[in-house]
Chains A and B, each alone.
Chain A
């Protein structure tokens, strides 16, 4: 009889999922374990987050297609959706690369892993603090410097990027700093 899979809603992980990643039973993710590969993933993730944040500056490629029956259809660029999904995929890979240790609850980790997770979250907290400070500075000085005023910019891309950064920062710190995971 298989034991029920416990879901940790607050952490966003499942017991079986974390145990499977910790046990090396799925070899298809082995390529993510070397620190060099993890660091490449972190760098790509950082580029992805910056791309999402700069979403308001992407060409919209908004085109009016006039159909033969007189109606017209507006076609928008799918670039934004593509980049956001790419960052979502990167976030999933990042979590796998650190065996979900950055998000796992105490009861699924040993004492060293708990310490590594807590340290990652502490550094991520500092990093997010500086990031928010930079964003507040941009909000404060941006209008005077005529920055961040493209047509239709409501700050939504910046907000999406900040949420992604908040969610992925502990895993990014751990993937970059920890030698063996």
Chain B
């Protein structure tokens, strides 16, 4: 991207937000409301185009009843894990 507008790190933070959210039957809007962010931000996170702050990562993990290490990683998750 010529002009990156938000944190788009050279070392991306991988996540399983979409997978866990879908398994729990939450919509993006519902998760956004629980985590206190806009639903577009959830979209950016799921596409790994934005890396969350530690506080937001913790809030999302709590909203999805997951440990933060199960939801976020510096290495890509294996499919189906």
Contact = CB atoms under 8 A, between A and B. Distances in A.
Interface of A is mostly: helix
B3 A112 contact: no
A112 B43 contact: no
A110 B36 contact: yes
Contact of B5 (A109, A110, A111, A174): A174
B37 A115 contact: no
A43 B36 CA distance: 34
Given A110-B41, A111-B53, A180-B44, A116 B6 contact: yes
Chain A CB within 10 A, most for which of B3, B7, B52: B3
Interface residues of A, number: 17
Given A110-B38, A111-B52, A180 B6 contact: no
Interface string A144-181: 00000000000000000000000000000110011011
A173 B3 CA distance: 9
B50 interface: yes
Interface of B is mostly: loop
Interface string A75-118: 00000000000000000000000000000000001111101100
A145 B45 CA distance: 54
8 contacts: A110-B37, A110-B38, A112-B40, A112-B44, A112-B50, A119-B3, A120-B5, A177-B1
Given A119-B4, A180-B43, A180-B44, 20 more contacts: A110-B36, A111-B53, A111-B55, A111-B56, A112-B6, A112-B38, A112-B40, A112-B41, A113-B41, A115-B5, A115-B6, A116-B6, A119-B5, A119-B6, A123-B3, A174-B5, A177-B2, A178-B5, A180-B40, A181-B40
